[in-house]
Amino acid sequence: MSNAPSHLKYTKSHEWIETVSDDTYRVGISDHAQDLLGDMVFIELPEVGQTVSASDECAVVESVKAASDVYSPLSGEIIEINESLEDSPDLVNRDPYGDGWLFTVKATDSSELDELMSADEYIELSSEE
């Protein structure tokens, strides 16, 4: 069983969301998602300053197996991206909840957070796949 830390929120499309401060949130893909995709070879990240709406495609993770879109879980502005993924896409495999984070979004509507899943709900969803 892949792990899903309980302090994070999750989406059905396998992103995780960590609260950094009041309105900023860090986003990555779950251990389950990286495990399904296998070795990452390219990561395409959004631009810093880019405005996104919840469930917009805003990044692509491409593995030896497949390319997969990453959706922004929240509306807002991209304020930081994980530049080390350019040279080390495998960080997403090795540390999906830590060094393998993708981007940070400054959210404009924190109520969107209520739509997200808890770790328990996510584990249930991912074990059904």
Q: Which is nearer to another protein, 102 or 116 (CB)?
A: 102
- Residue 77 near residue 51 (C-beta atoms within 8 A): yes
Tell me if 39 contacts another protein by CB under 8 A.
yes
Q: What number of other Cβ atoms are within 10 A of residue 23's Cβ?
A: 14
The stretch near another protein (CB under 8 A) out of 9-17, 33-41, 77-85, 95-103 is: 33-41
Q: Which is nearer to another protein, 18 or 62 (CB)?
A: 62
Residue 114 C-beta: closest distance to another protein, Å? 32
Residue where the block lists tokens 């880019």? 50
Contact pick of 42, 98, 115, 118 for another protein (by CB under 8 A): 42
* Bridge partners, 61 (sequence order): 43, 68
Contact pick of 44, 80, 95, 121 for another protein (by CB under 8 A): 44
Binding characters for another protein, 83-112, by CB under 8 A (x = yes): -------x--x-------------------
Buried b (16+ CB within 10 A) or exposed e, 91-126: bbbeebbeebbbbbbbbeeeebeeebbebeebbebb
Which sign, positive or negative, has the C-alpha torsion 101, 106, 77, 10? Answer: positive
Residues in contact with another protein by the rule CB under 8 A: 35, 38-39, 41-42, 44, 60, 62, 64, 67, 90, 93
